[in-house]
Amino acid sequence: MKTARSQLLWGLLFGIVFGFLLQRGGVTKYDVIIGQLLLTDFTVLKIMLSAVVTGMIGIHFMQGRGWIKLKPKAGSWGMNAVGGILFGFGFALLGYCPGTIAGAMGDGNLDALIGGLPGILIGSALLAAAYPRLKGGILQAGDFGDLTLPRALKVGEWSVIWPLSVIIIVALYLIERAGL
Amino acid sequence: MDWLTQVRWSPYAVGIGVGVLSWLTWLISRSPIGCSTSFARTAGMLERLVRGPQVEGKLYYREVKPVVDWQWMLVLGMIVGAALSALISGDFRWQWIPSTWASSFGTAALPRLLVGLVGGIFLGFGSRWADGCTSGHGISGTMQLAVSSWISAICFFIGGIAMAWLLFGVIGGQA
């Protein structure tokens, strides 16, 4: 699997834009991320949810026209719930996630570079070492494959997209009104 | 052009920007934005450097090859993009200890680095266990309406809120 050179350049370019946006949003800062997890500053959720609404409408529109083919990840309760909680512990202890730590290194945070980065690499290597034992076991527990919400609910995708967009926008409105 | 030097942009402007960026990554690169796989690939590259090519035979690295790919370049670009943004707005500064940490645990570097290291280990382990992170599941996966990603994203915050409360509320005595 060799990636074409032009795609590597596109990756770099998209990454520069993504990192720029995250830095301007403030989420390359430990204080902002911990503020979210302490529920005192909702910047992280505001960015994530407005990205999800914008992205969701656009990518499903493009898929409907046959321009792209989405690839929802397969998963299971053992994989996503257990892994998600473990990830969450790390999210709070480090105060960055794998994406924002890249940005945090870029805007000068040495705790990201000296503490967090080696940690993520060690953690990834540990999982790689444990993988043969986990793969046939807990990672399969409660397997649901590449299920999507519309298929789980047995409705068309736009029957999920529009109500979900409304719910997210109302939630964001309420967060603003609460002054968070 | 004031916006270019503004230190902070509205989180909604940033979020919509990320959403539009995701259209382009799908359209041009056929790929969703994600980050954590690149750290696993890097870990594999470092392991290969130390232990030799037999590392590529490991089950995990047969599935997640230790190579530079599109997403790896994306993560590299993010470091550059964040640095550019911070330098242009004057927000760039070298910093060891974030202020929220300092107000509970003081300004010594070692405790912060050790907790950060442990946190990083959980992040690396957990993101590869869950097959995604705040970007791959939290943004790109939820917008594809993947059940795996919605469960993951919700659990990221459950685990995160619980540990932040334990760290700052119970141990740090702030709650």
Q: How many Å from the N-terminal Cα to the C-terminal Cα in chain A? A: 45
Q: Does B105 touch chain A (CB under 8 A)?
A: no
The verdict on ipTM greater than 0.85 is: yes
User: Would you say A72 and B152 are in contact if contact means Cβ atoms under 8 Å apart?
Assistant: no
Is the dihedral angle over the CA atoms B73, B75, B78, B83 positive or is it negative?
negative
User: Distance between CA A92 and CA A23 in Å, rounded?
Assistant: 19
Summarised one tens digit per residue, pLDDT across range B32-74 is: 999 999 999 999 999 999 999 999 999 999 999 999 999 999 9
Across the interface, whether the CB atoms of B116 and A82 are under 8 A apart is answered no
Interface test with B, best of A10, A33, A39, A85 (most B CBs within 10 A): A85
Summarised one tens digit per residue, pLDDT across range A69-78 is: 999 999 999 9
Closest residue in A to B87 (Cα) is A107
CB contacts, 8 Å: A16 with chain B: 77-78, 80-81, 84
User: Would you say A37 and B161 are in contact if contact means Cβ atoms under 8 Å apart?
Assistant: yes
Please give the structure tokens belonging to residue B3.
């916006």
CB contacts, 8 Å: A112 with chain B: 116
Summarised one tens digit per residue, pLDDT across range A118-168 is: 999 999 999 999 999 999 999 999 999 999 999 999 999 999 999 999 999
What are the φ and ψ backbone dihedral angles of B59, each rounded to 5 degrees?
A: -50, -45
pTM (2 d.p.): 0.96
